[in-house]
Structure 1
Amino acid sequence: MHTLHAVASSTLSLPTDSYIYSITPSAPGTFAAISSDDSLRVFDAANLDRGSVVSNATHAGVTALRSFGVGGSQLLATGGRDGKVKVWDVRAGKSVVEMQTERAAPVLSVACNAETNIIVAGTELVSSQAVVAFWDIRSPQKISLQYVESHNDDITELQYHPTRSNILLSGSTDGLVNIYDTTIADEDEALVQVINHGSVHHAGFLSEHAIFALSHDELFSVHPATNPDDAAQAPEPVQFGDLRDPLGCEYVAQLCLGAQGMYIAAGNKMEKQLDLVPLVSGDSWSLDRENLWRLPGAHGEEVVRSVCLDEQSQSVFTCGEDGYVRAWKPAEGGDSSVQSGSGSAKARPKEKKKDRYKPY
């Protein structure tokens, strides 16, 4: 086991009792954050207190944040319960593109494809319909494509394939992870793979040929990405089951991918710690618990919401329901930096809030 130590922490000047939902890389050396006060902020990785407010009111209920680099521009995309998706120019400090779902269906997830100028949103279930909606940001007034039958509950995850800009993954609380060829308008024909996992908290591509799924009750699995043009039998998925017992955690925040590896971010509120457990591939997939990185103190008794592994600064950044962003590094002269990829000061008091595997 290796240890990371908190070297900085900041509330980003947020109002008291705010949650920080998500952080994501913005321009080099900077990160963006969305929070329960519906603000969008950016901060400096080298100095967490050096930052700015892009918007104090991104949405009536912000839900999603993604980086969206187009032509060297410093852009961010957000989604909200107001049924809108917005693109923000950080340097200008304003929204430059705005899109709207049909019937103002609340947006729960967003994915961006800079290569094709496409933004896609996954909606909440409204009138028995959950929609995967696509826009070309050059023509934001109209939806360019919709898939409306593949999910029958809230769409919680969207992600593009790492190398194929026409392949999109979606995950839903209906238990399905779907893979689409987005060059095909007909929804039945566009659906190239379906994985039945359980209510999806997070899902995505581990590589060009592997997909992970994490459920809301911490069930985890890794599946081969099937190729419809390849008649060879795909390998069996690896079912890890409930990660809480084997990892000694209470919840799994997310899976972090970096240039040098993949990590399961597993939190324990009672023990006030977060572990980054390597997920390794070989003949199969396994968890390397011997070489986990522990973040002692984490965010106290509050849930860690988001983790970023920063290659440039060789640091780990976390945010949570205590309203803090924290930066972590190995101790001087200690372990080498955690290999990276997507701080513990005294937390301020806060009031608790109610909180078919079948390829086609």
Structure 2
Amino acid sequence: MHNLQAVASSSLSLPADSYIYGITAAAPGTFAAISSDDSLRVFDAADLNRGAVVSSHTHDGGVTSLRSYAGESQLLTGGRDGKVRIWDVRAGGPVVEMETARHSPVLSVACNPETNTVVAGTELVSSQAVVAFWDIRSPKEFSLQYVESHNDDITELQYHPTRSNILLSGSTDGLVNIYNTTITDEDEALVQVINHGSVHHAGFLSEREIFALSHDELFSVHPATDPDDAVQVPDPVHFGDVREKLACEYVAQLCIGGQGAFIAAGNKMDNRLDLVPLVSGPEWKLDQENLWRLPGAHGEEVVRSVCLDEQSQSVFTCGEDGFVRAWKLAEEGAPVQAGSARARPKKEKKDRFKPY
């Protein structure tokens, strides 16, 4: 086991009753964050207190999702107002805006700058959950919509790491779908379906492997199949409910960095977060002997998002305590510091979406 040390902490000047939904890498050396006060902020990885507010009111009804877009200054957000926006950090405002049919709340977003494509996954509205596509050069019209593949909230979207025409979606209906987006007919476009359970997170581990994590912490790894390839694929690996295996209360997400994939497993009672390596050799397994522990984590509050930053050799976390924290490998012989969180009175949390 390796211990990481909390080296910095910041509330990003958020109001006292706020908590932070997610962070993502932005321009080199900077990160972006979305929060329960509906703001979009950027901050410096080297100095968490040095940052700026891109928008204090990102979406009517609340911002739900955040991704980095192309270039060094563009961010993509989705909100409960049914809108998807691309923000220019330097200009301090949205440069492109798209809108779902019937203003359906957006719960997930993805983008492919190579094809100028933005995609959004919606909440179930009038018995319909939609995967909606836009070409940002014509943002007023849909370039494509898949309206029958899911029958509940769409919680995850991700493009294939090397194939710009392959998109993954996950939903609380229990399905992880893989589409060939060059095909407009929805039935024909669907090239793989995985039945996993209410999807919290899902994505590509590699070009040929897919992971799925449910809201009740069921975790599995599946081969990506190709209907035109006759090669026999390996069986999926089902880990089941990982809470007992990892001695955790919840799984925040799966992180992929230069050193591989890690499951971020949190324990509020013990005030810790563990980054557990997911390794294959030859079978997939959770390498608990070589986990990275973040002692103290975010106290008794849930960790919402984790970013691995190769450039600064740091880990960044955010949570429901309203703080962003930076972590580095503790020096040998040095005491491991848990980091001190300023106690904040909490208002009742908004019923925006419930990942745990």
Same fold (TM over 0.5): yes
Q: Alignment partner of 1:244: what SS? A: helix
Which residue is 1:351 aligned to?
A: 346
Residues 97-108 of structure 1 mapped to structure 2, 5 A cutoff: 97-108=96-107
Q: In the alignment, which residue of structure 2 is the partner of 1:340?
A: none
Q: Which amino acid aligns with 2:65?
A: A
Q: Is the 8 A contact 1:322 1:350 kept in 2?
A: no
Is the 8 Å Cα contact of residues 201 and 214 (structure 2) preserved in structure 1? Answer: yes
The question of whether the paired residues in 2 share the 8 Å contact of 1:8 and 1:345 is answered with: no
Q: Does 1:325 align with 2:324?
A: yes
Partner of 1:109: 108
| Alpha-carbon distance in 2 for matches of 1:334, 1:114 | 46
User: Structure 2 matches for 1:260-299, cutoff 5 A?
Assistant: 260-299=259-298
SS of alignment partner, residue 115 of structure 2: coil
Per-residue deviation at 1:19? Answer: 1.0
Give the drift of 1:333. Answer: 4.0
CA displacement 1:122-146 (0-9 Å, x = unmatched): 0000000000000011110111100
- The code of the aligned residue for 1:273 comes to R
Alignment coverage as a number of residue pairs: 346
Structure 1: 5+ residue stretches without partners = 336-342, 356-360
Deviation string, structure 1 residues 269-324 (Cα, Å, up to 9, x no partner): 00000000000012110000000000000000000000000000000000000000
1:207 aligns with 2:202: no
SS in 1 for 2:205: strand
Instruction: Tell me by how many angstroms 1:231 deviates.
Output: 1.4
Over 3 Å counting, the alpha-carbon distance change for 1:97 and 1:329 in structure 2 is same
Q: What fraction of aligned residue pairs are identical, expressed as a percent?
A: 79
Q: Alignment partner of 1:228: what SS?
A: coil
Contact 1:84/1:104 (CA < 8 Å) preserved in 2?
Answer: yes
Q: Which amino acid counterpart does residue 189 of structure 1 have in structure 2?
A: E
Q: Which residue of 1 aligns with 2:300?
A: 301
| AA of the residue aligned to 1:297 | G
State the partner residue of 1:170: 169
* Counterpart check, 1:55 vs 2:50: no
Question: Is the contact between residue 26 and residue 72 of structure 2 (CA under 8 Å) also seen in structure 1?
Answer: no
Q: Give the equivalent residue in structure 1 for 2:27.
A: 27
Shift of 1:350: 2.4
Amino acid at match of 2:141: K
Whole-angstrom distance in 1 between the partners of 2:333 and 2:136: 47
Question: What is the one-letter code of the residue matched to 1:217?
Answer: D
CA contact (8 A) 2:298 2:341 kept: no
Which amino acid in structure 2 is aligned with residue 192 of structure 1? Answer: V
Contact map agreement 2:261 2:279 (CA 8 A) in 1? yes
* Cα distance in 1 between the residues matched to 2:333 and 2:228: 49
Asked if structure 2 preserves the Cα contact closer than 8 Å seen for 1:213 and 1:222, the reply is yes
CA displacement, residues 229-252 of structure 1 (integer Å, 9 cap, x when unaligned): 111222100000001000000000
Q: 2 CA distance for matches of 1:134 and 1:73? A: 23
What does residue 10 of structure 2 align with?
10
Partner residue, 1:146: 145
Q: Deviations over 1:176-210 (max 9, x none)?
A: 00000000000000000000000000000000000
SS at match of 2:244: helix
SS at match of 1:115: helix
1:221-236 aligned within 5 A: 221-236=220-235
Give the Cα separation in 2 of the matches to 1:87 and 1:320: 24
SS at match of 1:134: strand
Say if 2:308 and 2:316, in contact at 8 Å, map to a contact too: yes
**Counterpart Cα distance in 2 of 1:347 and 1:266:** 23
Listed as ranges, the gaps of 5+ residues in structure 2 are 352-356
Aligned residue type for 1:58:
T
- The aligned counterpart of 2:354 is none
Aligned partners of 1:80, 1:294: CA distance in 2, in Å? 33
Helix, strand or coil: the match of 2:331? coil
Q: Distance in 2 between matches of 1:102 and 1:84?
A: 10
**Whole-Å Cα distance in 2 between the matches of residues 158 and 318 of structure 1?**
21
Partner residue, 2:45: 45
* Kept in 1: contact 2:28–2:72 (CA 8 A): no
Q: Report what 1:358 is aligned to.
A: none
Give the letter aligned to residue 88 of structure 1.
W
Kindly state the Cα deviation for residue 334 of structure 1 after the two structures are TM-superposed.
Answer: 6.3
Are 2:247 and 1:251 equivalent residues in the alignment?
A: no
3-state SS of the aligned residue for 2:298? coil
- Aligned residue for 1:214, secondary structure, equals strand
Verify the 8 A CA contact 1:133 1:145 in the aligned structure 2. Answer: yes
**Aligned equivalents of 1:347, 1:196: Cα separation in 2:** 42
Match of 1:89 in 2: 88
Distance 1:120 1:293 in 2: 34
